[in-house]
Structure 1
Amino acid sequence: MSLNAWGGRVHERLIPYLADTDPDVLCLQEMVSTPTADREWLIYRDHGIELPQRANLLQEVTAVLPSHQAFFCPAARGDLYDGDESFPSEWGLATFVRRTYPVIGQGQDFVHGEFSPDGWGDHPRSRNAHAVRLFDYETSSTITIAHMHGLRDPAGKGDTPARLVQARRFAELIDRTRRDTDRLVVCGDFNVLPGSVTFAALAELGLIDLITTRGFNDTRTSLYKKTPRFADYMLASANVPIRHFDVVREPEVSDHCALLLEVG
């Protein structure tokens, strides 16, 4: 499963959904970790914008997935607020892997910018990616799963020089982690349109987009009020035995839909 968790803003539905679904591998973007905060909610502030954030979303998801290893990949460390009181908080990706699947390789890197330790940074802000290589004892096969959160550009989701670099860096990270015979699944909130150079870079790794090739034209929930409505993608190599793939419409646990892939 891949999902932009939206900072836990739909926490009351998100946590039970993840516990009930209990996916073998869970790739989450927009994760928050504020270990020094004793509040459940804090506020992110940026040039007049204020957004609620679940202060310790990472720890809450970890608690409802006790059978999983948690890998947290922060992209930046900045302040969240409760009134005038500030709390240093990390924000980034998290990957949860069921412990029955050994992690035999992994890679983590930035696809845009570098780690920002003293604030959220300038726009477009730093973004990272994480890849894990797993062994499946039941099928005696190896699968590499990678996800990223693509940069946000206020000008829109069209291709830019920065997005071209991002695509190349993501493909390079995947290629460093996988082996040629691996099954390969790549996912995340790419923040691009279907015709992006991102997909040309990933096609060189033998990946096929499951969103557009299966007729899905929307990966956002009713909580997202803008257009275009593409953001999230999942791709698979030809040797992945796909049993089922879906863009999950209900329940709405974010302004993004969860992407759920069942592999044979």
Structure 2
Amino acid sequence: MRIMCLNGWGGTLHEELLPYLAQSAPDILCLQEVVHSPATDKDWLTYRDGDHVLPQRANFFRDICRALPDHVAVFCPAAQGVLWDGDSAVPSQWGLATFVQRSLPIIGQVQGFVHKDYAPDGYGDHPRSRSAHGVRVHDPGAGRDLSVTHMHGLRDLRGKMDTPARAVQAARLRSLSHQVSRPGELRVICGDFNVEADSATLRHLAEDGLTELVTAGGFPGTRSSHYTKPGRFADYMLISDPEAVQHFEVVTDPEVSDHCPLVLTL
């Protein structure tokens, strides 16, 4: 089984990303920064937040569903705000999504928030609402059940330092992972945590018996060349039993986002 975790950057590099996903077709894809705009059939809209202006693939969730037609797709919104089509405001949902190969029975799910709650009336002030989603699946090839839970960690304009809000976030993520799992089962936790490699978030999850694979593997970061700010770490993948890992890599080529895909083979 292959599990991929990626912040999709709102589909900014969709021309590179979609064929990559179609070709690699991971059994489980945990995708953050997903845009879903069911009120429009536009391909592109614009996100505006002061000086922060970004193109957004208006129906990024739809695009990924089309690239992975043999997967069950679940979209988990964190907020609904507006994107812009010129001077026209278009309602748009933003969150994360999970895609599971149809041959894998989904035998449990959990969806919740690691920071704040659903924001239906705008994206709000930073740090904004952040969601998480977990699935429990049966792997017929290995004859076992396992869970995969991912989140998109809060963005603090001051930086990626440890804060009380991030401590609560880590506790909530850990709790959601346990909710979707049974004692003794293999657990995977991943996502764009928006913290540094020495963060208390990772220590908190290590205390729960999880091994972090990016730092343990000596990878120099999880950001692609499209990310030009300082700090090369944001994304992490943890597992409850490192003996179950057949292979793990941080994919640097092709570049499909300003984040690198994390790919775990069990």
Q: Which residue of 1 aligns with 2:5?
A: 2
Cα deviation for residue 122 of structure 1 reads 1.1
**Letter matched to residue 175 of structure 2:** E
The CA deviation string for residues 145-168 of structure 1, in whole angstroms up to 9 with x for no partner, is 010000001111110111011111
Equivalent position SS for 1:28: strand
Q: Which residue of 2 aligns with 1:45?
A: 48
1 CA distance for matches of 2:126 and 2:243?
Answer: 37
2 CA distance for matches of 1:240 and 1:87?
Answer: 48
Where do residues 22-101 of structure 1 align in structure 2 (5 Å cutoff)? 22-101=25-104
Q: 2:252 aligns with which of 249, 252, 258?
A: 249
Contact 2:146/2:187 (8 A) holds in 1: yes
Cα deviation for residue 240 of structure 1 reads 5.2
**Structure 2, unaligned runs of 5 or more:** none
Contact 1:34/1:56 (8 A) holds in 2: yes
Cα deviation for residue 48 of structure 1 reads 2.9
2 CA distance for matches of 1:116 and 1:36?
Answer: 18
Q: Which residue of 2 aligns with 1:130?
A: 133
**Letter matched to residue 164 of structure 2:** P
TM-score scaled by length of structure 1: 0.97
Matched, 1:11 2:14: yes
TM-score scaled by length of structure 2: 0.97
Q: How many residue pairs were aligned?
A: 263
Equivalent position SS for 1:211: helix
Cα deviation for residue 19 of structure 1 reads 0.4
**Root-mean-square deviation over aligned CA pairs:** 1.0
Cα deviation for residue 44 of structure 1 reads 0.5
Identity over the aligned pairs, expressed in percent? 55
**Structure 1, unaligned runs of 5 or more:** none
1 CA distance for matches of 2:14 and 2:141?
Answer: 34
The 1:246/1:239 distance shift into structure 2, 3 A limit, reads closer
Once superposed, which parts of structure 1, at least 4 consecutive aligned residues long, lie more than 3 Å away?
none
Cα deviation for residue 138 of structure 1 reads 1.8
